Structure 1
Amino acid sequence: MNNAVFKIILELSVIAIVAECRKVDNHNVGCIKCHPLDKNKINVHLIPHSHDDVGWLKTLDEYYYGVNTGQISVRLIISSVVEALKRNPDRRYIQVETAYFHKWWKDNEDMRTEFKQLVDRGQIEMVNGAWSMNDEACVNYQSIIDQFTFGLRKIEESVGKCGRPRVGWQIDPFGHSREHASILSQMGFDGVLFARMDHDDKSARQAKGQLNFLWHGSANLEDSTIFAGCFPTSSYSEPDSFCWDINCGDDQIVDNPNSTIYNIKKKVDQFTKILKNFTNYYPPGTKNIIVPMGGDFHFQAAGYNFLNMDKLIKGFSEYNSEFNVIYSTPSCYIKAINEAAPALKLKTDDFFPYSDQNYAFWAGYFTSRPTVKRSERVGHNILQAAKRIHALSPQHFNDGELEELKMSMGALQHHDAITGTQQQHVADDYIRMLSAGIRKAEAPLGNIISDILNSNLTLELSSCQLANMSICNVSQNSDNFVIAVYNPLGWAVTHHVRLPVKEGIYEINGPDGAEIYDLTETLFSFDYVRIKGEKPSTYELLFAAKDVPAMGLKVYHVARKSTGTATSEQLLRSSNVFEMDKESGLLKSVTVNDVALNVTQKFHFYQSHDGFSEVSDVASGAYIFRPFKNTPTVFENATILRKFSGNLVEEVHQKWENTYANIYQSIRWYKNENYVEFDWIVGNIDLDHMTFGKEIISRFSIKDFDNQGVFYTDSNGREMLRRVKNKRPTYKYNITQEPVASNYYPVTSRIVIKDERRGLRAAILTDRSQGGTSLNKGEIELMVHRRLIFDDERGVGESLDEFEFETPLYARGTHYLVFGPAKKPNKDGRTTAAHERILAQKKLLQPWVGLSRTDLSFEELKDQMQLSYEPLENNLPPSINILSLEPWTSGSLLLRLEHIMEKDDDAVLSLPMKIENIQELFKDIEITGVTETTLSAHLTLEELEERGVYTWKSEDGTSHAKQINILDSEREIVLCPMEIRTFILKTNRSETSGSSMNYIWSPSILISVIVLICCY
């Protein structure tokens, strides 16, 4: 048989299987096969599941293989489940974490066919689909979308279309964000289920029968409403006395009437009592209850679990006429709820901060392990740049080199990774994986960029990962080097490149000729750093890479000409930007764009609670923030180390002399920029001989500024949410218990206060997740670092006490102060809110700066390569950004366009924006076809329309359903505020290597296709 004929047969087989998957009776949802419901009973949906953390007390590999204390092995869990499901076609199970499934799939080729058959028969439902079950407080929306896209793609490559998840399963994150609900809605998901909700909120919802509700995920997108449900159990585990996993101690069910320990009727009665209580928690008329049956790393010996559930289900059919107990899946449960058509309460806010008991607000993890949080942002920046560079080069049109970085970034989104709530050796492993992924992803970039610039030169480009400690081997130890600056954004940017160097006189040349520069002293000596062969520099070279093209490149040549004393700094005797208090050494006021702000910035620390008190034993730990006193201790006056003004920058360096911690800070203004930068270093926190921990904050205080207890924080770096001190929008809580921690919220991008009377607003932008609040008039505080003595007894089993180079951890970070009119535009015509939006994107996706040694002079370099590259026909409008561009399949590209403004941000930039011809977006890429997909790119809009979406009814009588507007033109694209649109661009390229979603069909898989068709 020739290949063409064989291919036709296989394609017909695929068409047949898909057709069979779509043949649904009244109990089925696509490929998901649901057990019949009993309209005369309350239907109880048992959901067998295993919650498998992608790292926590053990590393990902330790959990997967079952090593390093304990016998947990995710590899055995999946294999055990497959064997158990084969024994009884009624059984169901959900597979959640794609990171583990992917490893298992690669390791168990002999079981792949059986697993796929179980998926096709609806016995296994793939749920959530992301690489990991991500946190929802500390993650940025771009990383969420990325790791869902990657995980869903791996599922499609392995088990095919019947494995496409339809339900979000966020059962363990410590609070839930509105933006995450919006993202799931935009992915075409039917709903989201979770377990953790503030204990006061959950009690109120249980009393009102509102554990199921509708969640409107966006204030800007009308069709972002999604069904949401919370489990009736106290967590995501099975009810008490009904745990039958291998490590559980509950009684097995004995259904032999001749046995002296026959207990099935007793078990049915016990379960009935629990279920009757659960029925009160849901809206009237629902007649469906969800009961999770599983827990952390359950089902290693799946037969134990399933055998007892078999007996429980049979027992209810014989001894109970009120409840119909069935095996089920999240999709079947949501389908049943939709058919019952209850009127559901509509929610428009989020679920932060989360508290599981009195005095226990899980707001510490917003800041815990600040260096891990920053490393994740750096990894994201590099991954996005690398994907775009790969996509722009037809010679290197694959993303195989990026897979390791995608995996490590997906793992870092996990709710015990970026949160900082893992054990120390696990945190070290996350950074090990990330570093390895970055090295592999950056390795081919020099060659790709050489090709893009039409050069035969070999550039071994890599970024300076240790520049935050004033270490960069290339810039410190080379008299000549090349710098490639790649801009991943959709508009041209000017980026200030700052590199550790030796003292000397330098020449910098680029596509625009010679560049001016500053050579300045470093903020801190970093004398505690011990890296073989590396020594921190005492000088930094600064220059501006001006107007780097959208999605494009500029290349610079740097030559060190002499070694004399050559700092370009000049004593800053007076400044039109900063005013420093001479006595305290603290900031007194700032003036930018002719607007003055009387603002003071200080560092303070909260003394951490040890958990010993008459009212509660809750301690401050990796998860929980609980200060011993509600008023923090201030770090007293600062010493001004130096002031200077250069060609490009004005800086003031501060140092706080104290016994509590080492604190250094540079207050910096890049000339002509509309923000002020606070570059801080906090470390070597002293624990007062193990008396109490410290949680250090940076507090900004604005004189005569009244925000009336209202402030705003971002939701995963996207939409802003209004916060009111001591208030929750939907329930009451005791504000006297923890008046500080209960007002802390996650800040992943920015926190804003407004003085409506003065018509003024001020924002602090962050470079990573931090806990933040506004406790007093005109104040913003952000927690930057924590070192603790006690564990908060939430499972991690360690105190948060990090060391690096045998020294209590130093963290370095940046805050950006932006201020101006609250509503009126600035003198450039843009509002302050618009400035904040654009700056946030510039800092999240900074240009990638790669360095390479060279023996060439600038003239020789210029003769052998282009020094700039502009891939777009035109810059995009400042409110439209290219969120994603990466190689997809068969020579196609994945493209996401986003509108970065909310509808009230700016009178002009918040308007709907049009791209006239998407097929002419790029200069050198011929686009031959455009297909629009859901946000996650795993469903085309045509497929979503064919599958269908649910319509839901809210309590006010309105209906809610996702609108599917299929692209009727491949040319004109319109984006409304906060809208993201995702496209697969067919090009004239062919895929050279790397990952592909094309299936490799073996005879065994072909047989499974035929068997499946016959089974149906």
Structure 2
Amino acid sequence: MMRLRASSVVFGGAVSLATLVLLYQVLSLPPDNHQQPPGDYKDLASLEARLRRLETDIQTNQHTISEIKSLVRQLARSSSRANSLLGPQYGIVAANRFIRNGLTGVNDAVAAVAAPGSPNKSATMAVAPMAVRYNLTQAAVMPDDCIFAQTAAPPADVQLDKVYAMLKFDNPDGGAWKQGWEIEYDAAQWSSSKKLRVFVVPHSHNDPGWVKTFDQYYTDQTHHILDNMVQKLPMDPRRKFIWAEISFFSLWWDQQSENVREAVRRLVDRGQLEMVTGGWVMNDEANTHYFAMLVQMMEGHEWLKLNLGVKPNNGWAIDPFGMTSTMAYLLKRMGLENMVVQRVHYAVKKYLAREKCLEFRWRQVWDSGSSTEMLCHMMPFYSYDVPHTCGPDPKICCQFDFRRLPGSGVTCPWHLPPQTISDHNLAARSLLLLDQYRKKSQLFRTNVVLVPLGDDFRFVRPEEWDDQFNNYQRLFDYLNTNDDLHVEAQFGTLADYFRAVHEESESLSGGAGSGGEDDIFPSLTGDFFTYADRDDHYWSGYYTTRPFHKTLTRVLEGYLRGAEVLYTAMVATQSTMGTTGSSDGTMVEVAEALMAMLVSSRRSLALFQHHDGITGTAKDHVVVDYANKLVRSITDCQLVIQQAAHYLLAIDQHNYRGKTDTLYYQLGEKYTQHNQLPSKMVLVLQPGTSAQLVIYNPDAHRRPQLLTVRVSSPYVEVIDRKDQTVPCQVDPVFVQSSEASNDMFDVTFLVDLPSLSLTTYTIKIVDPEKVNQQFVSYGKVVSRGMVAPSVPAVFTAIEETNGQSFTLHNDHLQARFGSNGLMQSLTAQGRTLDLNLEFVKYGVKNHRETAGAYLFLPDKEATPLPVGQPAVLTVLGPLLSTVTTHLKNIIHTVTVKSSPGVDGMGVEINNLVNIKLERNYEFAMRLNTDIKNGDVFYTDLNGFQVNKRTRYDKLPIQANYYPIPSLAYIQDDDTRLSLLSAQPLGGSSLASGQLEVMLDRRLMQDDNRGLGQGILDNVLTSSTFRVLLEPRITVKEREDGKLLKNSSLPSLLSLSALNTLLYPEYTLLPTTKVEGARSWWEVGGALPCDVHLVHLRTMVDPPRARVGQLVAHPPAHLSSLTLHRLGFDCYFQSPGLTCSTTAGKVRLSQVFPTMFGEQVQQMSLSMLYEGVDMTKSYTLSLQPMELYTFRLSHT
């Protein structure tokens, strides 16, 4: 104890001395001019961060030192259990190196940056006496956190951007292999000691919705396939089969007897049946967000673990229309070792085949080592069907698809049908097939050949099982017994194939002690967009097709994530308190009922990530089925949120009695129809009454921002939970362009929301004469191109007829508009950018095969939408101002918010699009600027990372279109312009300075890719964007200047702003059922700026019986927590953020001080593999770009 005290004295003295030195250095710095040179900026940020850390250390050092011995002992014990699949990036440092993430108030500038002067204020903005003042905060960034962005990863052997630059994309006729060449081989390359090993892998690709609904497919086809599988595979141990879609498998499993289930387990144990990938679906890879990808993968993996005890090892993605490197990363971190892909541009396939690079180690472009590398096999030919898998000649391979035997009703397009294998044709047919196997092997670096045997919904009939397996077994027996052929052919699974590949690659490289696969298979970086299957048929249309439903899935993602976090907080709080609520078990029933809703919502979201779901490429009635599931799940998640919020705000949680059929709060928006936008709920209050709103912040960061609530009276007062009056702005609600409602009004006010919190604000309805003008402002309405609209008397409305441009601005930015209501320029952080916004339209090629659900085939360059002098409605106020322009097919609104948060750092755009009266019409929004980006632009991959794109004149417009799941930007040496998107769409930069995004498309015809219809079910669709203008802190040449041209990362500001779009705050309006609630609840801590809480998810236990009924999804006393450390570019400031970075150091005990037990276990990403044991007090060291999952105990 004396030693501890002495250490504390020494430590305290050292801290005091260091603090004095740092203060001297701070005082010696030059004056702050709001835009420091990079060196000084980094020094200042460093000093600020270090001062704050020292203050924290002074407060906490005794606690920290007292923990060191026990924590070190625990760390030593747990580190030995780390699973190798987690990789070296899963680091933990000793607890005494913890750096607290200290936050400051809105008026405490983190980086000593005061609010800048307002640029070129427009006279029209001086509309109200209410004054709003605040200081602008900035994120405090540690210098070490900039190293990642300044360090170039070593180049891979194959860099796809360089491959694209090199290829001619000329598509010559290759003969039998139309998109390749005539393959030749020397039969002498094989011998008795070097045989060709062939693995024929039977499979059936089952789409969970496409031309039929999920349930229709199951009833008509899928359940027959699985029934037959259980009967046919045990007949011969040499028979094999793989299965991917757990959504179908779980439905079938629920209907089986225990005897059948045991038979399936035996097939798995014997290696005859392999579950590949293990996701709920085979997800699309262009439009999906990585959050939803994780949801669908975790749902499948959790089911497999609970029911089969299976951990998938091999990925199988044969039908998504283009491939993302994000999927390779996720699979790698989930513990899978290999993967197979199919749909890749035919020219890229040909190049990789020429170079024998069709099997490669897929590495993330930002990986400085090799920990993210995943062995990937790319199928070389046109399709995954049988004609295109045995070898390069489809007319020969089709003859070995025994589902097409004469009389079967299915034929070969080449008019050469298969023949039943008999003694008289066995030798000839075997040699004909072997020739294809040998030719295919010439495209790979090993003597192991993968031959998928299947197609969509194959093996439905028992006869097909017999025809395929019996005929192939005769061929295999002949090939294997003729030693002079030097071949071993057999049925196999992916596990069998990759096991042989690894064995041979190890042998070829000289054994286990050598470089192994690194010497055999090349490394590769990049993604495989945009996909073309032939000619100029680029599959870039589906990036946008049915945008209403693409938006709907993002809405559900936000609600599901928010519901999961709040539900977990509820059940963890109950466990921590040592109670499940009332003594009669009411809360157990509530928890089980809410968990059932969460599981159903997980599965609805997961189902829609299917590559014919979110893509918009299903038939109309299937889309309706998907949409109904999404809407129902949104409603369920809203119910979970309000139920959990009611419990967490309860004054007496020990004796709390909840009822799932009671509506305590109404969420601020309501979804009722599968094809309609949500209605905004109105808080109806009588004069002299008030209501306590609850604002839920699902983000693990504090959010100061504006919030808008719709109320029934314009005479209001807003009060925060500390009983302080909050300034607010009241605006009219327009029911049509010329008329505002008399009983609906939008009230906007500034909220300050702690991380992961529920915060109350009170809205009072007051007498008109008692409205406090110092705290309440009423929007001023200005019309252009139309008469002044009819508005309630509390507002003023004027008609502006001068035809001049006008501006909207706050203290940080200014947007200038033409008299037509479209933006002309944008000023932010001292930089002014010419920015002319326009809308453009594309037609379609007048060819036999033209644009449809999948294909974007424009007839020519886009033509601008005629604008003229449209009706323009402007609402001006001190907190926010909007410009709404009414054009043909679109209502376009731009909002500028006066907020200290990230919502005030850019302009918000909302487009209401309806093109249902058009024909073959593709509609886009285009930003034209003076940024000199040349032919380079950037788009995100699945919201997880950003990829560099290059526009090529050698490629058509549709080939230069890429998916924009959430973010795109253009930049030059001085400036970056980012477009943040709340929904996935397609887009491009088709000229220097341009950035465009497709908003909707209506196609009158099928594009001959199997759907059999056009896209004619367009509905009124809302799309929301934020536009950020960010000047670089410096243009000075640096050692890393070359890196800035070759790779790119988003700014902290854009990442934070994007999260507010994808995971917004939720407003809970109280009903009469709310009594005795607390004014706030919060988890207790926040994460560093660059660490995102991806999800906090309660796990499920196996089904169990309770009180005579089966509980299908009982909640476990365990949760999974996934964190993402974001990579960001330090060369842009971070205004509006109230957090700091900590070099990736996170202590869970600071984030969850009272929730969860002390023991924590590191896990693989989908919770299949266990890693390091630790406690909440350990300091985690998270590496940039990496995802981490931890298992938390509720007790």
TM-score bracket, shorter-length normalisation: 0.7 to 0.9
Of the candidates 838, 847, 855, which is equivalent to residue 1056 of structure 2? Answer: 838
The equivalent of 1:242 in structure 2 is: 400
The equivalent of 1:63 in structure 2 is: 217
Task: Please show how residues 752-791 of structure 1 align to structure 2 within 5 Å.
Answer: 752-756=969-973, 759-791=974-1006
TM-score, with normalisation over the residues of structure 1? 0.80
Of the candidates 521, 539, 543, which is equivalent to residue 344 of structure 1? Answer: 521
Distance in structure 2 (CA, Å) of the matches to 1:203 and 1:887: 46
Contact 2:1032 2:1131 in 1 (8 A): no
Cα distance per residue 1:463-504 (max 9 Å; x no partner): 313499572355369986553322121111134433455453
The equivalent of 2:267 in structure 1 is: 118
The equivalent of 1:21 in structure 2 is: none
Contact 1:84 1:306 in 2 (8 A): no
Pairing 1:472–2:668 present: no
Q: CA deviation at 1:360?
A: 0.5
Contact 2:976 2:1031 in 1 (8 A): yes
Distance in structure 2 (CA, Å) of the matches to 1:746 and 1:537: 43
Structure 2 SS opposite 1:371: helix
The equivalent of 1:608 in structure 2 is: 844
The equivalent of 1:747 in structure 2 is: 964
Q: CA deviation at 1:781?
A: 0.4
Change beyond 3 A, Cα 1:632–1:113: same
Structure 2 SS opposite 1:913: coil
Q: CA deviation at 1:425?
A: 0.8
Structure 2 SS opposite 1:241: helix
Distance in structure 1 (CA, Å) of the matches to 2:743 and 2:1144: 49
Of the candidates 456, 461, 470, which is equivalent to residue 307 of structure 1? Answer: 470
Pairing 1:452–2:648 present: yes
The equivalent of 1:598 in structure 2 is: 834
Of the candidates 384, 388, 411, which is equivalent to residue 561 of structure 2? Answer: 384
Pairing 1:53–2:207 present: yes
Contact 2:567 2:640 in 1 (8 A): no
Structure 2 SS opposite 1:751: strand
Cα distance per residue 1:770-810 (max 9 Å; x no partner): 1111111211000011111121111111101114xxxxx21
Distance in structure 2 (CA, Å) of the matches to 1:477 and 1:840: 34
The equivalent of 1:169 in structure 2 is: 316
Of the candidates 874, 881, 894, which is equivalent to residue 666 of structure 1? Answer: 894
Q: CA deviation at 1:970?
A: 6.4
Distance in structure 2 (CA, Å) of the matches to 1:400 and 1:717: 28
Q: CA deviation at 1:645?
A: 1.9
Pairing 1:429–2:660 present: no
Pairing 1:794–2:1009 present: yes
Q: What amino acid is aligned across from residue 272 of structure 1 in structure 2?
A: L
Q: CA deviation at 1:977?
A: 0.9
Structure 1: state its 5+ residue gaps.
Answer: 1-36, 67-72, 528-534, 727-734, 804-808, 826-830, 943-965, 989-1016
Contact 2:549 2:627 in 1 (8 A): yes
The equivalent of 1:293 in structure 2 is: 453
Q: What amino acid is aligned across from residue 1191 of structure 2 in structure 1?
A: I
Distance in structure 2 (CA, Å) of the matches to 1:674 and 1:969: 36
Q: CA deviation at 1:940?
A: 1.4
Contact 1:46 1:328 in 2 (8 A): yes
Distance in structure 2 (CA, Å) of the matches to 1:232 and 1:436: 42
Pairing 1:642–2:873 present: yes
Cα distance per residue 1:36-90 (max 9 Å; x no partner): x985211111111110011111111111111xxxxxx101111111111111111
Structure 1 range deviating more: 541-550 or 295-304: 541-550
TM-score, with normalisation over the residues of structure 2? 0.69
Contact 2:1087 2:1151 in 1 (8 A): no
Contact 2:820 2:885 in 1 (8 A): no
Q: What amino acid is aligned across from residue 339 of structure 1 in structure 2?
A: E
Structure 2 SS opposite 1:842: helix
Cα distance per residue 1:710-730 (max 9 Å; x no partner): 11111111211111111xxxx
Contact 1:586 1:638 in 2 (8 A): no
Structure 1 SS opposite 2:841: strand
Task: Please show how residues 292-441 of structure 1 align to structure 2 within 5 Å.
Answer: 292-301=452-461, 302-319=465-482, 321-341=485-505, 343-393=520-570, 394=574, 395=580, 399-441=595-637
Q: CA deviation at 1:523?
A: 6.4
Structure 2: state its 5+ residue gaps.
Answer: 1-190, 388-397, 506-516, 575-579, 581-586, 783-805, 1036-1048, 1101-1115
The equivalent of 2:173 in structure 1 is: none
Task: Please show how residues 889-908 of structure 1 align to structure 2 within 5 Å.
Answer: 890-902=1116-1128
Contact 1:930 1:983 in 2 (8 A): yes
Q: Which has the larger radius of gyration?
A: 2
Distance in structure 1 (CA, Å) of the matches to 2:933 and 2:735: 36
Q: CA deviation at 1:633?
A: 3.2
The equivalent of 2:704 in structure 1 is: 494
Q: What amino acid is aligned across from residue 934 of structure 2 in structure 1?
A: Q
Q: What amino acid is aligned across from residue 644 of structure 1 in structure 2?
A: V
Cα distance per residue 1:665-714 (max 9 Å; x no partner): 33433444111101111113432xxxx411111001113x2101111111
Q: What amino acid is aligned across from residue 756 of structure 2 in structure 1?
A: M
Q: What amino acid is aligned across from residue 865 of structure 1 in structure 2?
A: A
Distance in structure 1 (CA, Å) of the matches to 2:700 and 2:640: 23
The equivalent of 1:621 in structure 2 is: 852
Pairing 1:271–2:420 present: no
Distance in structure 2 (CA, Å) of the matches to 1:39 and 1:665: 72
The equivalent of 2:380 in structure 1 is: 232
Q: CA deviation at 1:213?
A: 1.2
Cα distance per residue 1:576-615 (max 9 Å; x no partner): 44454444432121223333222111111111224x2xxx
Q: What amino acid is aligned across from residue 117 of structure 1 in structure 2?
A: R
Distance in structure 2 (CA, Å) of the matches to 1:294 and 1:391: 42
Q: What amino acid is aligned across from residue 868 of structure 1 in structure 2?
A: W
Q: What amino acid is aligned across from residue 238 of structure 1 in structure 2?
A: V
Q: CA deviation at 1:345?
A: 2.3
Of the candidates 339, 351, 372, which is equivalent to residue 192 of structure 1? Answer: 339
Structure 2 SS opposite 1:65: helix
Change beyond 3 A, Cα 1:562–1:278: farther
Contact 1:578 1:587 in 2 (8 A): no
Change beyond 3 A, Cα 1:74–1:62: same
The equivalent of 2:509 in structure 1 is: none
Q: CA RMSD in A?
A: 3.0
Q: What amino acid is aligned across from residue 873 of structure 2 in structure 1?
A: R
Q: What amino acid is aligned across from residue 817 of structure 1 in structure 2?
A: V
Distance in structure 1 (CA, Å) of the matches to 2:356 and 2:304: 36
Contact 1:363 1:771 in 2 (8 A): yes
The equivalent of 1:1014 in structure 2 is: none
Q: What amino acid is aligned across from residue 383 of structure 2 in structure 1?
A: S
The equivalent of 2:147 in structure 1 is: none
Distance in structure 1 (CA, Å) of the matches to 2:467 and 2:240: 14
Q: What amino acid is aligned across from residue 1067 of structure 2 in structure 1?
A: V
Q: What amino acid is aligned across from residue 892 of structure 1 in structure 2?
A: L
Distance in structure 1 (CA, Å) of the matches to 2:340 and 2:631: 34
Distance in structure 1 (CA, Å) of the matches to 2:192 and 2:607: 41
Distance in structure 2 (CA, Å) of the matches to 1:540 and 1:86: 68
Change beyond 3 A, Cα 1:526–1:271: farther
Distance in structure 2 (CA, Å) of the matches to 1:64 and 1:561: 59
The equivalent of 2:727 in structure 1 is: 516
Structure 2 SS opposite 1:762: strand
Change beyond 3 A, Cα 1:880–1:581: closer
Cα distance per residue 1:865-889 (max 9 Å; x no partner): 21111112x3211111221112125
Structure 2 SS opposite 1:367: coil
Contact 2:829 2:1031 in 1 (8 A): no
Contact 2:402 2:420 in 1 (8 A): no
The equivalent of 1:96 in structure 2 is: 244
Contact 2:777 2:878 in 1 (8 A): no
Cα distance per residue 1:838-873 (max 9 Å; x no partner): 1112221112333332388xxxx6xx221111112x
Of the candidates 914, 922, 928, which is equivalent to residue 683 of structure 1? Answer: 914
Contact 2:322 2:343 in 1 (8 A): yes
Q: What amino acid is aligned across from residue 1028 of structure 2 in structure 1?
A: V
Cα distance per residue 1:99-120 (max 9 Å; x no partner): 0011011111241111111111
Distance in structure 2 (CA, Å) of the matches to 1:708 and 1:967: 50
How many residues align? The count is 868
Aligned-residue identity in percent: 24
Q: CA deviation at 1:225?
A: 0.9
Change beyond 3 A, Cα 1:911–1:924: closer
